[in-house]
Amino acid sequence: MTPHLRPDPHRTVRPLWICGFDAQPWPCAQTRLSLRRQFQDNPVPLYVHLSGLLHEAMTDLYTLNPDTAPEPYALFARFLGWTPSRHHQT
């Protein structure tokens, strides 16, 4: 069964992509912890969800100010670099 996203006070403030609770870059540490717990048994939906948000954040941040927007690799690390990795054995 796929976990459902629960309401969280650490929601993103868009289009800035900061946490509305602690003003840290979203996903903040508390959001990451919460998402890890929610998707610990099946992280694939988490990867899909965060990949979509990464795309939206990139669009928003580059639209706001292309000169100071984070580099793509930094956004990837921020949105997906902290997620658990999946290794398949053959």
In a structure prediction context, what are the per-residue pLDDT tens digits for the chain, which is 90 residues long?
A: 555 656 678 899 999 999 999 999 999 999 999 999 999 999 999 999 999 999 999 999 999 999 999 999 999 999 999 998 765 544
Give me the pLDDT at residue 84, please. 85
Give me the pLDDT at residue 45, please. 95
Q: Tell me how many helices (H) and strands (E) the chain has.
A: 3, 2
Give CA angle at 88 (84, 90), nearest 5°: 170
Give me the pLDDT at residue 3, please. 58
Strands, DSSP E only, in 2-52?
Answer: 12-13, 18-19
> Is 78:70 a contact under the CB 8 Å cutoff?
yes
What the block records as the tokens of 43 is: 């992280």
> Is 64:57 a contact under the CB 8 Å cutoff?
no
Give the count of alpha carbons within 13 A of 54, CB side only: 17
pTM score, whole prediction:
0.83
Give me the pLDDT at residue 85, please. 78
> Is 76:27 a contact under the CB 8 Å cutoff?
no
Give me the pLDDT at residue 20, please. 95
Give me the pLDDT at residue 30, please. 96
